[in-house]
Homo-oligomer: A and B are copies of this chain.
Amino acid sequence: MSTRAVDSRLRDWAYLSGVAEAPCAPLSAFVAEVGPEQAARALRERTLPPALDGPTQSRRHRDTVRADLDLLAVLGGRLVTPDDEEWPSWRWLAFSTATATGVRDAVAPLALWVLGTAPVEELTRRAVAMVGTRAASGYGEHVTAELTHDLVAEGWTIVSGAAYGIDGAAHRAALAAGGRTVAVLACGVDRAYPAGHAPLLREIAREGLVLSEYPPGTTPAKHRFLARNRLVAGLADGVVVVEAGWRSGARNTATWARHLGRPVLAVPGPVTALSSAGCHRMIRTGEAVLATSAAEVIEEAGRIGELAGPRQGELDLRPTDGLDRVSAQVLEAFPARGAVNERQLAQQSGLPLAQVRGALPLLEMAGLAEWTEQGWNRAR
């Protein structure tokens, strides 16, 4: 594709990213089916599936794409899409699986608005989410710092939500230890939320990544925090809840993690502290495994990091059950025997080369394709 075509396609992704409130399962399905250009055209021309009429009605004709992309450029950011090599395709395998088992809204983001220089896929390859209450105790902040320090020393990236309390302590400790950290926002990356964390967010963008599935200008809202939590869980190999009250947003992140097959760990504390009540509750009910050290976190998260998705058997699915349409199409393009290269697969499947390249690591992680010196093979 020409640069002009690439730019036009990127603008389509940007348009789609804001045309419905994310996550929007029918929109994601439509884009997966017809591709971003045709989906954007259909929406603009109102030749769209009936299911999309409602969700896109109010924003279909608002086109702030150019302004959004310009603002992002000024901030030094970029829009990362499934066309990009840094798109963490394999991270979304579990989203497809969760959707297949009936979890509403467990859809992958259409695109990510990103501040920071590191490639998203690379930075989140081995990642732990550290989350918890905004009303953290001194104990909670201390334990967050200790765990983060030790995880960073082992090369793990710390993912969190940039909130006050445990989130902030995790980001700060990762930065202090010279580690890598990713802040996932429930608003546009041009917004500093909470305002008191503006300097922290600037530092995270400089040293790690600040990202959001919402276009610039999007304000934080309750439902966006819940949607954001699924990305925090999805971009990590495991979620650690350091402190949580009896009713805590951290439990929502933990629930997402379970749906996505990620292990959930909770740190115990004094039974006299309300800030640990949610952690104790999750351990009691089996929603979380008790964790006291980074080694115990890695023991759980490491397994998933290697498997990249829910453990087989745990959901009792065949390996192909969780595949999105593109990956399934690439898989079908394989000959029964013998090796092929990416171009041959693109030709055979009729898919763009970038999509084939995105799907291959996913198929490899799922144990369906393997790379040899001769090229790509269908796994037996």
List the interface of chain A (C-beta within 8 A of B): 139, 142-143, 267-272, 276-277, 280, 283-284, 289-293, 296
Main secondary structure on A side of the interface with B: mixed
Chain B hits for A269, CB < 8 A: 268-271
Give the distance in Å from the alpha carbon of A66 to the alpha carbon of B280 in the complex. Answer: 54
> A271 near B277 (CB under 8 angstroms)?
no
CA of A196 to CA of B280 in the docked complex: distance in angstroms? 36
Residues in B with CB closer than 8 Å to A292 are: 271, 277, 280, 284
Whether A283 lies near B290 (C-beta < 8 A) is yes
- In the complex, what residue of chain B is closest to A265 when comparing beta carbons? B284
- Chain B residues near A267 (CB-CB < 8 A): 271
Complex: A293 Cα to B270 Cα, angstroms = 12
A132–B269 Cα distance when bound, in Å, is 17
CA distance A293 to B284 in the complex (A): 12
Q: Are A139 and B290 in contact (CB under 8 A)?
A: no
A142 with B284, Cβ < 8 A, contacts A277-B292, A290-B290 known: no
A267 and B267 CA atoms in complex are apart in Å by: 13
B293 touches A268 (CB 8 A): no
Kindly provide the distance from the CB of A9 to the nearest chain B CB, expressed in whole angstroms. 49
Q: Which residues of B contact A289 (CB under 8 A)?
A: 284
CB distance from A115 to the nearest CB of B (A): 34
- CB of A142 within 8 A of CB of B272, answer yes
Beta-carbon contact of A139 and B284 below 8 Å: no
Q: List 5 A-B contacts (CB under 8 A).
A: A269-B270, A269-B271, A271-B293, A280-B292, A283-B283
Q: How far is the CA of A280 from the CA of B295 in the complex (A)?
A: 14
